Structure 1
């Protein structure tokens, strides 16, 4: 009975997981194909798709943590081989992902990308093995080297490099350059909240009768001063050069950075959706069969 319950749990899990994966990949493929490709300079604010070339940021000098090769972004994994004579497996010891921003350039402009939360699919993926936990670490000698000589490690490193093509889809925003409108009420409220953090200074500026509180005329003068301050800050911000940013959408929309193009990605996602649907169907059939056995 216990074995039947375990098998039933696996079949239900396969059905649910396969269905979820199929719907997710199908939805992502539709988002990719239904979102038009934009040029950076003329792109509308919000969810957008771009093709361009990766270029270095002037202040960024990044190398892959395992290979030491120069790159713009990396992801790595270190695994250790385990075997007890009956079964063997690779156990993950370390993994990590770069948090460095990326610079995407097309014929019309450039966009800075925050890769946090993105599904990144690099063209470069290197896998190799060694007998040191970290491939760039110093060689171990003496007793410690002898004890660790029998261990085997596998290293995986993925990288994005300058000059590579990049397909990017995510939430696009532009600041500065006169692109942002002024929500005067919100900006005024932000200025007042900022001034309230130094309430003594606020009283010194607007408490004209010195009674330690702000009456209606004084509040009116404060609001007018905050409005003028908000308008002045907006004017100063508008003359700054426009800066474009791409990041993770607030809604459940795909955020993808890939060296492969839209058509190739959509094709892969459709195949993965089909695989998930087959797993869901197999799980459903297995569940029905196991429930039939249980009744008998």
Structure 2
């Protein structure tokens, strides 16, 4: 083996070992997070990292249409790939991809929860894959064999969707708003009111500058503080009368944020198998690296 070939082999095997180790740690940790987080009911869930299981229902937002099939849905993700062949090198190259960011609504036996899907690992039950000879699909989907013998370039289309009535397992950061459930910090709320009033300083002077000198003296500023405290209390009372709204989103920490039509048990099995694959890749890469280090240079 040449020195150049040995160096390339060392780099590739080392990278494979590191990637496999990282994948093992990531998937194993995610599986443990799912197992260690108890399933909660929406109405009684504690604030913070939580896990739910329910059914997707229609929200007040208009229904979406899948960009490739024009099928009505609640969420979509798509990908358009082009087939490339250069001698022995054959591959699919991604031309376009994207996903919707409209909020979802999950319902269980105790209530509803809005879900912001941005940043989530979404695993939908509905997935369509087909091929064609145009950049954007038109008409009915072609099978892979029909597309193979069509003239022109080959494209592969993938569209995944979430629909009303599908089961959904969701784990992420849970927060409730309204109904007086939030902790109330009077000083912080009063400071926010004053900052808003300062945005219209002319209006602030008109209300509290009683001597008309264009400034707020100490006595007038005390009146501002008292009025701001009363305004903050009034806003809290109005907010407490609003119905409770539950929301689920991406956690601030590196905890899994997963939306899946498959249940927790199936997800955990998949993650453990993927972790095992990562561990195997790490081991093979490490053994190859050690073997290459021991190869004599000629």
TMscore range, shorter length: over 0.9
Deviation at 1:184, TM superposition (A): 0.7
Query: Which position in structure 2 is the counterpart of 1:11?
Result: 13
Query: Which position in structure 2 is the counterpart of 1:69?
Result: 71
Deviations 1:18-55 (A, max 9, x none): 11111110110011011010111111111110000011
Q: Distance in 2 between matches of 1:61 and 1:240?
A: 26
Deviations 1:132-181 (A, max 9, x none): 1111379xxxxxxxxx9411111111111111100000011111112112
Query: Which position in structure 1 is the counterpart of 2:146?
Result: none
TM-score of the superposition, structure 2-length normalised? 0.92
Deviation at 1:285, TM superposition (A): 1.7
Q: Distance in 1 between matches of 2:196 and 2:98?
A: 38
2:237 aligned with 1:235: yes
Q: Summarize the alignment of residues 47-86 of structure 1 with structure 2, pairs less than 5 Å apart.
A: 47-86=49-88
Equivalent residue of 1:128, what SS?
strand
Change (3 A) 1:213 1:137: farther
Query: Which position in structure 2 is the counterpart of 1:267?
Result: 269
Q: Summarize the alignment of residues 1-296 of structure 1 with structure 2, pairs less than 5 Å apart.
A: 1-136=3-138, 149-293=151-295
Equivalent residue of 1:235, what SS?
helix
Equivalent residue of 1:209, what SS?
coil
After the TM superposition, list the runs of 4 or more consecutive aligned residues in structure 1 that deviate by more than 3 angstroms. Answer: none
Equivalent residue of 1:43, what SS?
coil
TM-score of the superposition, structure 1-length normalised? 0.92
With 193-202 and 92-101 compared, the bigger mean Cα shift is at 193-202
Q: Distance in 1 between matches of 2:296 and 2:51?
A: 51
Deviations 1:89-148 (A, max 9, x none): 11111111011111101111001111000000011111111111111379xxxxxxxxx9
Deviation at 1:294, TM superposition (A): 6.7
Deviation at 1:282, TM superposition (A): 1.5
Alignment RMSD, CA only? 1.8
